[in-house]
Amino acid sequence: MKPIKSVGVPRETKTAEGRVALTPDGVREFERLGIDVYVEAGAGEGASISDSDYVAAGADIVPTAADAWARDMVVKVKEPTEAEFPYLRRDLVLFTYLHLAAYPAVARALLDAGTTAFAYETVQLDSGALPLLAPMSEVAGRLAPQMGAHFMERTHGGRGVLMGGAPGVRPARVVVLGAGNVGWNSAWIAAGMEAEVVLLDKNLDRLRWVDQIHRGRIMTLASNRGAIERSIAEADLVIGAVLVAGGRAPVVVSEDMVRTMKPGSVIVDVAVDQGGCIETIHETTHTDPVYEKHGVIHYAVGNMPGAVPHTSTYALTNATLPYVLEVASQGPLAAVENNPALALGLNAHAGSVTLAAVAEAMGTGHLDPVTALRAS
């Protein structure tokens, strides 16, 4: 592949998505390496970053999305929308959240175009940690109880339950499915709101850690079908936080379980951008975030951190910038050869899938990342 000499930062096109993939400080780091940065006009507005801030850092402001997408490398926040598919091409390197197992149309567009596509969410360390997913998991996890509390209010369709209750009145019961970054942050914030919190996970060591940190303030349960059924039936708010790195989230709450929930109770499925872990879930947007099914309010916004784009942009770019700089400065092949975490981040190249989890979800084969890059 040709050396990367320019990077484009287009404005996000997903509904009500205000995050941006690069801050002015990030621009300065690219410029220091001799790589020019082209930012679409208004790309940072949602995150309270002005065009003049980017210019002061050394970026060029370009008037259209096409101008930003025309560069050697494009960095984004969310997967390309259908309107952006025509910008995909074989000599383009793309680095963004992709969630291809949940968005097969995006996967097909990338493969058809032959784009070299890195996904933030599948960059994985030897420890199993997902360093570029973690910051948005933390933000989404902290947002989930807030959203749940909002929609539990009677004026927003809920049962009229206050998270923290009142003296002599039981607080809301919040059930969190999964004790990873999303789930633990959700449980922590819900407990801080004085709710009664139940956290379920299959990993007993993780539950022991939560117990040690919270000293019984959060009730932990080993996750199995029976425990989930009983917990769901008693919940005022259910938060879905189940993750399979690079793959589709498993469905752990069936439609029959949803039917047992109290009328006006609320589900917030943070895993919806990976297909969702609740059988009755389908993706919504910030402008139309909820729907009702079986008397239960479902909140299923696929880009939850986009609700707080200023905080989310800085949390995200603090984590992504070093990896994006590696790919841009070394080129995809050298970056993947030198950093196994980035090898797992490569999802597609030259029309081939390069991550096993994505290939499994799509029902297709895959190539080793280094083999795929060397072959082109």
The residue length of the chain stands at 376
Work out the angle between the directed axes of helices 204-214 and 181-192 (0-180°, nearest 10). 30
368 is an active site residue: no
Residues whose CB is less than 8 angstroms from the CB of residue 301 and which lie 6 or more positions away in sequence, other chains included: 272, 283, 284, 285, 286, 289, 307
CA distance 207 to 188: 13
99 is an active site residue: yes
How big, in percent rounded to 5, are the helix, strand and coil portions of the chain?
A: 45, 20, 40
Angle at 189 between CA 101 and CA 134, to 5 degrees: 35
Cα Rg, the chain, nearest whole Å: 21
User: Which of the 8 DSSP states describes residue 312?
Assistant: H
Q: Which two tokens stand for residue 330?
A: 């070394």
Phi-psi region of 354 (alpha: psi -120 to 50; beta: other; left: phi over 0): alpha
In angstroms, what CA-CA distances link 280 with 234, 291, 342? 18, 10, 34
CA distance 269 to 45: 28
Annotated active-site residue in 201, 236, 269, 273: 273
Active-site residue list: 99, 273
